[in-house]
Chains A and B, each alone.
Chain A
Amino acid sequence: MFTAVASESMRNFQTMNLNAIEVTKLSKRYDAALAVDALSFTVRSGTTCALLGGNGAGKTTTLAMLLGLLLPSSGNITILGEDMLRHRYRVLPRMNFTSPYVDLPKRLTVAENLAVYARLYGVIGIKARISKLASELQFEEFLKRSYGTLSAGQRTRVSVAKSLLNEPELLLLDEPTASLDPDAGDRVRSFLIDYQKRTGATLLLASHNMPEVERMCDEVIMLRAGRIVDSGTPAALIARYGRADLEQVFLAIARQAREGLSAAPNA
């Protein structure tokens, strides 16, 4: 029932042709350091977008501000049509998040953890929802095991399941396949792509895995030192920089920035 209503809401949102995320002049300053510097971007509803950048580029800070975990120093964030800074709690039930850097309670079993979060998100039919996700993400056999006894890859799958409990309209993913072996990583990616197609959800991911970004994303936003240095479809960026793949584009931007050169020779 919850799933049906959530999907209906997503279709309505897409029909209205709104941007799922609208960020305007978003900045975050920690004392003297400017972590994010006047970012402005939009993510169209029903698409998958990646935030790319090296360490310290501002990806995690941006994600944290989008989630409301971090208050911006200035700027505006509109998510699913709501002002995130003023009406955060109207939006939070409609979105979710996963990151390998945020854990779940280790002494609780996987099923207990998911049940707690299902209640927090007001999911109806908790057992059925957990069983379905466990089946789809292939972790039924360790539902009764303590979360702390799982391998890093198993934890990642559980964390992805947690992020899908409420069938979110907007899913923020921080390195969603980090610590997964290639096979498990591929299955999670396929699952997320399928979820996006099936529900029309919007996905925003921060990742260092360039093949993953090429495969999953409609749009890429390249960050450096808290600023957007370029954006576009993966194919457009590859063509613009005259490189073989997105990884080469990423390296070109990172290296040429260090050397103070123009990053886009073909631009």
Chain B
Amino acid sequence: MRSVNAAQRRLHWMPSSFSVQRIIAMVLRHVYLMRKSWPRLLELAYYPSVQMILWAFIAQFMAPMSSAIAQAPGLLIAAVLLWDILFRSQLGVSLTFFEEMYSRNLGHLFVSPLRPYELVVAKLVISFLRTLIGVGGAAVLAIVLFDYSVFEMGLPLIAFFTNLMIMGWAIGLMVSAMVLRWGLGAENLAWAIIFAFAPLSGVYYPISVLPSWLQPVAHALPSSHVFEGMRSVLSYRVFRSDLLINALALNAIYLAAGVAIFLAAFRVARKRGLLLHMGE
């Protein structure tokens, strides 16, 4: 009788190792936060919009001087919008993690049944939502103000968006891991680290512009293949699947590394007792 009771108890209490409910809980936690703070929502679209407007005027100014821009007038606007997908998705992951640290909430979260990888998935979903709001707002504004629609790229845009977002997620997870390990002193990395990738990604120029010794480094970044692919679509109307495959393969490595580094940092935090004491 006792063993039957024990078995029944275990069956009832055996928690699922992956719960959509728990992921929804963590997404809701950030949706609650966003929906009550219109400055936060505005901020999501503010910087991408300002960047887009700036580069649109630069493009208008340079069009008479540059045949490349004259042939594909949306090149710079598309570049800045795609770059912001990478930037915003990275920030989306990092900042949602910082939010837990600011509120000294990690101790409660990690004594709940929430698995670290469920937290990771929730962070990626929130990052996706934040990126859609931020870059989507700027993209709509580009249509209104400059009669340029990045959506005219069609299906390749989905491929570019997906790849840049995955790379942003991977970097965001690595930044979160560093902050988990070294505390909020490493917070500035969230804003700074992405800019190290900008010159090597060929956002506004082809990778061939870089010195030959630097080009292999650039080719090791998924983003460089995306921006080369974008230029191919906008300038020559050719979608290069080889570049897409390169970007996807690299992103698989980057994302696996990002998740592994974050989970390793979590384990170190449990060894050192960092989860109880982190906060403002």
A interface residue numbers (CB < 8 A to B): 5, 9, 12-13, 15-16, 30, 60-61, 64, 67-71, 81, 89-90, 92-97, 99, 101-109, 112, 115-117, 119-122, 162
Contacts and interface: CB of A to CB of B under 8 A. Distances in A.
B237 interface: no
Contact of B12 (A9, A104, A106, A109): A9
Contacts of A115: 28
Contacts of B8: 12
Given A9-B9, A60-B276, A69-B275, A117 B113 contact: no
A109 B21 CA distance: 20
Contact of A103 (B5, B25, B104): B104
Contacts of A92: 15, 111-113
B276 A121 contact: no
A97 B108 contact: yes
Contact of A16 (B2, B32, B272): B2
A117 to B, nearest CB: 7
Given A108-B29, A120-B114, A122-B113, A69 B107 contact: yes
Contacts of A15: 5
B185 interface: no
B33 A105 contact: yes
6 contacts: A9-B13, A71-B267, A90-B13, A92-B111, A104-B108, A112-B29
Interface in B244-280: 267, 270-273, 275-276, 279
A121 B113 contact: yes
B37 A107 contact: yes
Contacts of B270: 68-71
Interface of B: 2, 5-6, 8-10, 12-15, 17, 19, 21-22, 24-26, 28-29, 32-33, 36-37, 99-100, 103-115, 267, 270-273, 275-276, 279
A20 B167 CA distance: 46
Contact of B104 (A89, A102, A109, A121): A102
A70 B276 contact: yes
A102 B14 CA distance: 27
B103 A117 contact: no
Contacts of B114: 120
Contacts of A89: 15, 17, 113, 115
Given A13-B9, A70-B276, A90-B15, A120 B103 contact: no
Contacts of A12: 5-6, 8-9
Given A30-B273, A71-B267, A116-B28, 7 more contacts: A69-B276, A71-B270, A89-B17, A90-B10, A108-B32, A109-B32, A116-B32
A104 B5 CA distance: 36
A106 B273 contact: no
B9 A96 contact: no
A103 B264 CA distance: 25
Contacts of A81: 6
B12 to A, nearest CB: 6
Given A108-B29, A116-B28, A119-B22, A102 B105 contact: yes
Nearest to A17: B2
B13 A105 contact: no
B28 A119 contact: yes
Contacts of B13: 9, 90, 93-94
Nearest to B16: A122
B28 to A, nearest CB: 6
A102 B271 CA distance: 18
B14 A107 contact: no
Contacts of B105: 102-105
Given A60-B276, A105-B99, A107-B37, A122 B108 contact: no
A13 B13 CA distance: 12
B108 A64 contact: no
Contacts of B19: 122
